[in-house]
Amino acid sequence: MYHHVKKLMFTVRVDEPDPRFGNMLLEQFGGANGELAAAMQYSIQGLNCEDPDRKDLLMDIGTEELSHLEVVGTLARMHLKPTKFDRQAAEADPLIAIAGGGGINLFNSQGNAWTADYLKITGELDVDLRNNIAAEARAKIVYERLINFCDDAGTKDALQFLMTREITHMKAFSLALESMQKPAFSVGRIAPTPGLVDQYFNDSTGTGEHGEIDTRGPWNEGNGWVFTESPAIQAEPGTVVVTESSPPVDEAGLDDLLIDELRDILHAEKQLTKALPKMAEVARFDQLRELFEQHLAETENQVERINECFELLGKTARAKPCKGMMGLIEEGQEVMAEGEEKEDAAADLALIGAAQRVEHYEISAYTTAKNLAQQLRHSAVVALLSKSLAEEENSDQLLNQVARSLMSVAKMPAAIEQAEQ
């Protein structure tokens, strides 16, 4: 909820209006680094933020930026006021004088309309905070330049206030980022390619008349940097540059984790090949029975794919007891036993519920294994797991469709009975 208080955050005083300077001020009203852009950027980031503490920070500063917009707008309007009645002043900016009647509008100093393209919003809190620090730095520089081009004492006081608050916001955003305790170069969730990430390409070379000399510094030497000649001038292109196809370094033991997941899935799928025929046998409706039979064939193929994954990884296709699937199948057996006493539709709906719990378990398992394989860049394994994952997701959707049909069937006797009454 916003509430407008009829008082400026900083009282504005202009002794000598300067329409040309008023036009410059519009850069901080409707420009890329201006107050409206900042207010919208921080507020929308805040609305998207799941972290309550940092959400409060973003909404606090976003709201303050709206008050800064009011200060800048008032300051610009006071400087532009002569364009309402003075021809010479109006010539400083005909767009403002003629189209806007001497008032402000959402344009920058060049007359370009404000646009949401100015906003930097990624939905990744640490990345957004870095964007905000940079935004405040740019705005600080704009205010500094405005102060340098201003002769009016009251205006300079207001600009000094606004410029100082940019530094305040930079400090707050920086400390919020620091409090997340996230490494500076840990951006997103996918790790960079080992080796490649530490290669510095010397892509601008030359000496004397042929160009400036190469320089070295902490940006390209020491601290793990590998100074590499430009790929464009290597004698044998590609022989020095570390590429995406380079063998990954498994520092976190992800290979072992992937193998463990695959062995768990293998046991789960083998259990399911024994359970599905029983589920098909007790299903009352043909549509559900056929779906179980179809998924049995898919499950048998999925077992073969898991075996192929082990072969690609150079590991033995050995199953590890999957207690999760064992529990789900035991629960399914209870559902089948209880279903003997139920009406057809109710019995099959309970059976679908048991089957969907199995599907969701498998979807979770395949998703985890696929993500691990992607991280380790086992592309062939990813392709096999993705195919099985798609089949599990499709099977879950088909079970949903059958369930909706059976619910309609289950409602029919009650509707007929009510109609007869």
- Feature table: binding site for Ca(2+): 56, 60
Q: Give the pLDDT score at 157.
A: 95
The rounded distance, in Å, linking the Cα atoms of 279 and 290 is 11
* Domain-wise residue ranges, the chain: 19-179, 192-246, 268-420
pLDDT in tens, 35-78: 999 999 999 999 999 999 999 999 999 999 999 999 999 999 99
b/e per residue 224-236 (b: at least 16 CB within 10 A): eeeebeeeeeeee
Per CATH, 19-179 and 268-420 having the same topology is answered yes
State which amino acid sits at residue 67.
S
Average the pLDDT over 27-32 and give the result: 94
Annotated binding site: 35, 56, 60, 65, 68, 136, 169
Q: Across residues 337-364, what is the average pLDDT? A: 92
Residue 379 has pLDDT above 90, yes or no: no
**Across 333-358, average pLDDT:** 92
Annotated binding site for Mn(2+): 35, 65, 68, 136, 169
Domain covering 268-420 in this structure, CATH number: 1.20.1260.10
Lowest mean pLDDT among 49-63, 90-104, 298-312: 90-104
CATH of domain 19-179: 1.20.1260.10
Query: What six digits make up the tokens of 225?
Result: 């940097």
3-class secondary structure, 228: strand
SS3 300: helix
For 226, list phi and psi in degrees, rounded to 5.
Answer: -115, 105
Which amino acid is residue 265, in one-letter code?
I
Residue 373 reports pLDDT greater than 80: yes
Instruction: Count the Cβ atoms, other than its own, within 10 Å of residue 94.
Output: 12
- Three-state SS across 157-223? HHHHHHHHHHHHHHHHHHHHHHHCCCCCCCCCCCCCCCCHHHEEEECCCCCHHHCCCCCCCCCCCCC
Q: Give the least confident one: 4-18, 176-190, 330-344, 353-367.
A: 176-190
Model confidence, pTM: 0.60
Q: Element (H or E) spanning 200, and its range?
A: strand 199-202
- Of 29-33, 96-100, 234-238, 417-421, least confident by mean pLDDT is 417-421
Chain-wide mean pLDDT for the chain? 88
Q: What is the pLDDT of residue 416?
A: 45
Tell me: pLDDT of 128 over 70.
yes
